[in-house]
Amino acid sequence: MKNLVLIGATIFAMVSCEKKNLEVKHVSEMESGFKISAKVVNDEDPVCHMKTAEHLSDTLTYKGQVYGFCSSMCKDEFKKNPDSYLK
């Protein structure tokens, strides 16, 4: 019986520690109540591809251009490697 409990606990630990792809959920301006009005060069968020006209909540100037983002999470992700998102 102790062996079954030990095996079960080991399996549970292995499964619960397994890395899983977590879905990023964005908060739109309707949920947050916050939407900014700014002129940006992109029609969609370069990270998650949401339409900036509908979900613009953050901006970043990169190489003289103002890019719009639906959330600070996408902006932070973009800042890690901007050129990879602009291809």
Dihedral class, residue 26 (left if φ above 0, else alpha if ψ from -120 to 50, else beta): beta
Q: What pLDDT is stored for residue 10 in this prediction?
A: 59
**Measured distance CA(38)–CA(57) in Å, rounded:** 9
**Which tens digits make up the pLDDT trace of 55-73?**
888 999 999 999 999 999 9
* pLDDT surpasses 50 at 21: no
Predicted structure pTM score: 0.61
**Which tens digits make up the pLDDT trace of 27-64?**
544 445 566 778 999 999 999 999 988 888 899 999 99
Q: Provide the token pair at 55.
A: 């979900």
More confident call, 84 vs 21? 84
